[in-house]
Amino acid sequence: MMKLFLLCLLYIQVFSLSPDTLAKQHTDGYVNIAEADTSAGILILVNKDHKLPEGYRPDDLVPIEEAYNRGAMNLLRKEAASAFANMCRRAAKDSITLWNRSAYRSDTVQQELFENAVMRRGLKSAEQFSARPGHSEHQTGLTIDINNVHYSFGNTPEAAWLKEHAHRFGYIERYPQGKENITGYQYEPWHYRYVGKKAATYIYQHKITLEEYHEIIGKQTRKTSR
């Protein structure tokens, strides 16, 4: 009964706020929401301003190789899963052990996680590290939490290896330190997103986020279309 009461309060808090209140509380997103462009493939942008269609699920999800999985949520899109396995094999040659902790999540699972985060931390705090359903990159099947979902992971040899080498396998550190005002989320050294080698290398070399990359690509497209 208590849980039901808390969930009712959550829904009222999240979905019944006036536009002015939302704009005040969420200066980093959830104000002008566009539908995520699923035609962008592995470069799809999903964040607080871009929401996946309800019930979205990639049609090419496959299990992560068992040797590199320790999580119940063990699905990735086929291309991302293959790249992750290759990255893990290469890391092992450097005595670095990598594994999946959490990969694809449905919007239903994400809703449960978000509600729990709000009940534990409150809405404002929860939205710094937990996405609303439809706004989570995990639902794309292109995102993976690696090894340890604690900030101390950022100080490990595994995290250092990923920072230096992940782009060679098409992965980027999605929520880097110092870019919180752009991504809308706190630093997460364990959260990696597959975008393909070309985009990942560009993002790595220019020290930018996926949001900034999309802005650059958008400007180039608009310029060449004139």
**pLDDT by residue (tens digit) across 76-87?**
999 999 999 999
Question: Measuring CA to CA, which residue among 33, 36, 78, 86 is closest to residue 59?
Answer: 78
Domain assignment of residue 92, yes or no: yes
Structural domain of 92: 40-52+59-103+137-224
Domain assignment of residue 86, yes or no: yes
Domain assignment of residue 93, yes or no: yes
Predicted confidence band at 134 (pLDDT cuts at 50, 70, 90)? very high
Return the C-alpha torsion angle 130, 137, 148, 209, nearest 10. -100
**pLDDT by residue (tens digit) across 175-194?**
999 999 999 999 999 999 99
Q: What is the C-alpha to C-alpha distance for residues 71 and 144, in angstroms, rounded to an integer?
A: 10
pLDDT of residue 29: 67
In which element (H, E) is residue 15 found? helix 2-15
Domain assignment of residue 12, yes or no: no
Domain assignment of residue 87, yes or no: yes
- pLDDT average, residue stretch 33-43: 95
Domain assignment of residue 119, yes or no: no
Domain assignment of residue 129, yes or no: no
CATH number, domain containing residue 161: 3.30.1380.10
Q: What is the C-alpha to C-alpha distance for residues 106 and 108, in angstroms, rounded to an integer?
A: 5
Give me the DSSP letters along 33-77.
-EE--GGGGGG---BTTEEPPTT---TTEEEPPGGGB--S--EEE
What are φ and ψ of residue 218, in 5° steps?
Answer: -65, -40
pLDDT of residue 118: 95
Share of the chain above pLDDT 90, in %: 81
Per the structure, how many domains does the chain have? 1
- pLDDT average, residue stretch 132-155: 96
Q: Is the model's pLDDT at 222 over the cut of 60? A: no
Q: What is the C-alpha to C-alpha distance for residues 165 and 203, in angstroms, rounded to an integer?
A: 13
Residues designated catalytic: 188
pTM attached to this predicted model: 0.85
Are 194 and 42 in contact by the 8 Å Cβ rule? The answer is yes
Domain assignment of residue 112, yes or no: no
pLDDT of residue 157: 98
How is residue 44 written in tokens?
A: 């799809």
